[in-house]
């Protein structure tokens, strides 16, 4: 996947989240069970809604060296909204307070969430989806401007609408 801006540190968070990040991350959920503990097969019908992050685990390495800007812990400043027309929007702020406002299109195949934004696609793994909980994981590796970049992001979210 290509970086969406030339600043590695600001681009990495918006990228995943932008889909969610390249990615960016409504109203009810269709469920076959009343048990929130059951992981559901990810579909457009059961991801539709607004999700708020509750926990984030993110790290990046440049040429094998941790960039020191990772974060692991509670984080509630990002909202992801998926609608019935395959639109996704992400609103909130980055770890340093930089606003995140992004939108794109999404599709789901199996446990893969693909988000398209400005001609770029990101594939995110849906590791958990219940009526009240969404967990997304994203990894990347790439050569970019003579540097080897790798990173990981995990977002744990709760449904708020």
pLDDT higher than 70, residue 153: yes
* Confidence (pLDDT) at 10: 40
- Residue 147's DSSP bridge partners are 144
What's the confidence (pLDDT) of residue 39? 78
21: DSSP letter: B
What global pTM score does this model have? 0.76
Q: Which residue intervals of the chain are DSSP H helices?
A: 8-20, 44-47
- Interior CA angle at 116 toward 149 and 70, to 5°? 35
% of the chain residues with pLDDT over 90: 68
Is the model's pLDDT at 15 over the cut of 60? Answer: no
- pLDDT over 90 (residue 3): no
Any bridge partners for residue 105, and if so which?
Answer: 87, 116
Task: List all residues 6 or more positions away from 97 whose beta carbon is below 8 Å from its beta carbon.
Answer: none
Nearest to 138 by CA among 47, 10, 17, 48: 17
**Lowest-confidence range among 7-11, 55-59, 72-76, 121-125?**
7-11
- Average of per-residue pLDDT values in the chain: 80
Does the pLDDT at position 12 exceed 80?
no
Q: Find all residues with CB under 8 Å of 78, minimum gap 6, and list them.
A: 17, 25, 52, 53, 90, 91, 92, 93, 100, 155
**Is the confidence at residue 157, as pLDDT, over 80?**
yes
Q: What is the pLDDT of residues 73-130, one digit of tens each?
A: 999 999 999 999 999 999 999 878 899 999 999 999 999 999 999 999 999 999 999 9
- Measure the CA–CA gap between 71 and 159, rounded to whole angstroms: 22
Confidence of residue 61 (pLDDT cuts 50, 70, 90): very high
Is residue 84 within 8 Å of 26, Cβ to Cβ?
yes
Average pLDDT of span 46-71: 94
* 3 state SS of 154: strand
């Amino acid at each position: 996947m290509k970086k969406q801006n030339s600043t590695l540190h600001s681009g990495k968070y918006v990228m995943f989240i932008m889909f969610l990040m390249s990615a960016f991350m409504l109203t009810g959920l269709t469920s076959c069970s009343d048990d929130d503990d059951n992981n559901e097969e990810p579909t457009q019908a059961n991801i539709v809604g607004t999700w708020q992050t509750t926990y984030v685990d993110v790290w990046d390495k440049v040429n094998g060296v941790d960039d020191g800007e990772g974060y692991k812990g509670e984080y509630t400043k990002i909202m992801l909204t998926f609608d019935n027309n395959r639109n996704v929007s992400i609103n909130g702020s980055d770890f340093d307070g930089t606003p995140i406002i992004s939108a794109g299109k999404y599709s789901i195949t199996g446990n893969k969430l693909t988000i398209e934004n400005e001609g770029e696609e990101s594939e995110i793994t849906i590791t958990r989806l219940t009526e009240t909980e969404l967990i997304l994981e994203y990894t990347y590796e790439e050569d970019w401007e003579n540097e080897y970049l790798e990173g990981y992001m995990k977002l744990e979210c709760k449904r708020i609408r």
